[in-house]
Amino acid sequence: MTGASSGIGEAVARAAALAGARVAVLARRVDRLTALAEEIDGVAVAADVTDHEAVAEAVAAAADRLDGLDALVNSAGITRPGLLADTDPAAWRMLFDVNVVGLLAVTRAALPHLLAASAPSVVNVSSMSGRRVAGPASGAYAATKFAVHALGEALRMELQPRGLRVTTVAPGFVRTGIADGEPESPFREQLAARLAEEGLPPTEIARAVLHVLALPAEVTVVEYAVMPTAQRDHGFLEPPSS
């Protein structure tokens, strides 16, 4: 479980452990990760998904501690809301390094262990922004999530014949702290407000992930899109209707 120190990743880890799974949690923040692992009797493997050598070591350690891997849930991600004309290209690179290349690095490291399992699964937590661009300030973020959708399709084509199920979960607004570490801007403030006002609790996304993983091995959910009933299917720059 990547991105497990907060938000959706933490919620999925807790739900999976409650359902009886042995869970390895991966994230950068060692203190929060260790505390979570102790609470759920899981395995903490700290790594930044942009450090591919550390990722490979962490995944190998997780597989060793758990005697293999049956499922991988990729949930690590960041957002950098802002207009393309005003954004430092370094922010674009960081978005892709975390949201796309990081996902690839974790998945590649996990594949040998997954393919040794009897009914392996990969669940990539993407976004509704991977289906439709939310607004002009979310273009780069949406591009990474479109990429996550594409990678899910490609991985399914490559490895479904070997029994690997691949699912893309596409949430709408979720009440997480994803905007907390972003630079101050009107876009960040509007995004944070919409998430707080309309977002689903992360536990609802965890419920979706566990539903997918609990299905019989012969059933693959290709995409699971879920959003708050209160959320209009438009961008976060548009004010909510009164």
Q: Round the average pLDDT of the chain to a whole number and report it.
A: 91
- Range in 185-189, 196-200, 214-218 with the lowest mean pLDDT: 185-189
Cβ of 94: how many Cβ atoms within 10 Å? Answer: 15
pLDDT bin (cut points 50, 70, 90) of residue 185 is low
How much is the pLDDT for 241?
Answer: 46
Q: Is the dihedral of CA 215, 218, 219, 220 positive or negative?
A: positive
Number of helices and strands in the chain (H, E): 8, 6
Q: What pLDDT shows up at residue 239?
A: 43
Using alpha carbons, select from 26, 10, 16, 1 the residue that is nearest to residue 174.
10
For the segment 88-113, what is each residue's pLDDT rounded down to a tens digit? 999 999 999 999 999 999 999 999 99
Q: pLDDT: is 222 or 233 the higher one?
A: 222
Of 92, 141, 146, 173, catalytic? 141
* pLDDT for residue 242 is more than 60: no
Long-range contacts of 45-50 (CB under 8 A, 24+ apart): 49/2, 49/76, 49/98, 49/102, 49/103, 49/105, 49/106, 50/97, 50/98, 50/101, 50/102
Tell me whether residue 185 is exposed, middle or buried, using C-beta atoms within 10 angstroms of its C-beta: 0 to 12, 13 to 18, 19 or more.
middle
- Give the distance, in angstroms, between the CA of residue 179 and the centroid of all CA atoms in the same chain: 15
224 catalytic, yes or no?
Answer: no
Mean pLDDT of 59-82: 95
pTM: 0.91
The three-point CA angle 37-124-149 to 5° equals: 160
Q: pLDDT per residue over 115-148, tens digit each?
A: 999 999 999 999 999 999 888 888 999 999 999 9
Domains and CATH numbers, the chain: 7-181+200-226 (3.40.50.720)
Given a cut of 70, whether residue 22 has pLDDT beyond it is yes
Write out the H or E segment, with its range, that includes residue 113: helix 102-114
